[in-house]
Amino acid sequence: MKDITIAIEGATYDGSVAILRGADVLSERSLSGDDGTLHRAGRGERLMPALAECIAEARVRGADVVRVVCGSGPGSFTSLRVAASVAKGLASGYGVDLYEVSSLLLTVAGAKSKLAPGPYLSVLDAMRGEFFALRVLVEEDGGTKSMGRPGVVSTDDIAELRERKTVVSCIGPGQEIDTGPHARGVAMLLDTILEQGRVDLSSWEPDYGRLAEAQVRWEAAHGRPLTT
């Protein structure tokens, strides 16, 4: 079979996995409940079984896997750490390269419904009443590419963009187009991902966007940065 990519996304509690052959999606799973609800606890325990199901469904052998791609965030600190740890373990175990891709791009590229061409604002919850955001262009041929770098915006900022109609619409959990990032979006972005090159397996970490809440509270209480 060969040319198999294992894709993992964990920027939200509703994580996902997918198996690709080239740019074709062979199998995929979401970590949300069967009823579509999101379970904050136990997502790490669900990731590997979901991946095992996808591998079995696609009849993938170890020698077929040529790369692992992981959503790089920004997003949920804990979910991203779990996904990154699994991705690193798989890349090491299979002896293949690890690649990253913006989770905000995967929101657009992984959308089930076809999106009209134009600029979108892809957003994910950053807590504290703010959102991680990235302008993403959907091209006439269906291609997807980022416009700039991710940033943090407020609800008012999003409302202003909608009013000015500088984007077709906002896409993300709870937005006009209500969907989150999904690992299947790697299929549409694979050429760009490969052009960017692999990441260093030992040192790579996802883009958490901001410090974990526990670290913020610790630093506030102790008046100094928490070192690792």
DSSP string, 11-43: SSSS-EEEEEETTEEEEEEE-S-TTS---STTH
Question: Please, what are the domains in the chain?
Answer: 4-105+183-222 (3.30.420.40), 111-178 (3.30.420.200)
Please determine, for residue 35, whether its predicted confidence score (pLDDT) is greater than 80.
no
pLDDT, residue 44, reads 61
Pairing of strands 4-9, 65-71: parallel
Whole-structure pTM value: 0.88
pLDDT, tens only, 107-153: 999 999 999 999 999 999 998 889 999 999 999 998 999 998 999 99
> How far, in Å, CA of 175 to CA of 36, rounded?
17
From 1-10, 24-33, 212-221, the region with the lowest mean pLDDT: 212-221
